[in-house]
Amino acid sequence: MFSDFLALEATCPAELRDFREWHKGAPHFGFWAIEVTNPACLNKVEACQKHLSDKLHAGYARQPHITLALAGLLSEKQVHQNLVLRQVDQLEKRSFRAFPLQLSGCNSFAICPYIQVHDPLGNLASIRECLGSAANVDNQRVYTPHVTLGFYNEAYRPADIVGSISELSSHDIDFTVHEIVFAQYETRDVQGPYQVLHRVKLC
């Protein structure tokens, strides 16, 4: 479960600054996601964040969500608006039905700990394929559905992080996905909240 993470020398502390060399003036970054609003899921996210708070930067304000696909920097508003509308149209034509997911145990990438998401019916792959085909992008690369808990504030030994994660309860929480959203966050704030621009209701 932790083999990839334990192979790292240390976690990567996130820099909390405006990465101008990355966004080159583009004010927003866009992405497709599933919002996590189930009360039991939110309680679990909050409990995990509190447990790991001494190892995470304070002030992480991005709402709990599961990223589905990235739209990238939104520098040309009309171009991206047309693309998003094509994706919305494709999603609606496919008439995806509401489906179940499971919020599971914690794991970690180099830069952030996260809660794993299980997709028992395999719906996420179909939705990602639909979004990718509308954008002429291959979304079938390695994909780990998850809910980010925040960003590491220092370089820690992975074994120490795993030890801390292992103290957490790992029971799964079932919830149902009823809509998909397209959202954006301000590029100048790597921990800032996102704003929802489009909502696609599932059947």
How far is it, in rounded angstroms, from Cα 44 to Cα 60? Answer: 16
C-beta separation of 5 from 162 below 8 A = yes
How far is it, in rounded angstroms, from Cα 129 to Cα 114? Answer: 24
For residue 188, the tally of other CB atoms under 10 A from its CB is: 13
Q: Which of 5, 16, 1 is nearest to 109 (CA)?
A: 5
Angle at 38 between CA 37 and CA 40, to 5 degrees: 130
**Enclosing H/E stretch for 124:** helix 123-134
Q: What is the pLDDT of residues 120-163, one digit of tens each?
A: 999 999 999 999 998 777 665 789 999 999 999 999 999 999 99
Q: What is the pLDDT of residues 108-122, one digit of tens each?
A: 999 999 999 999 999
**pTM score:** 0.95
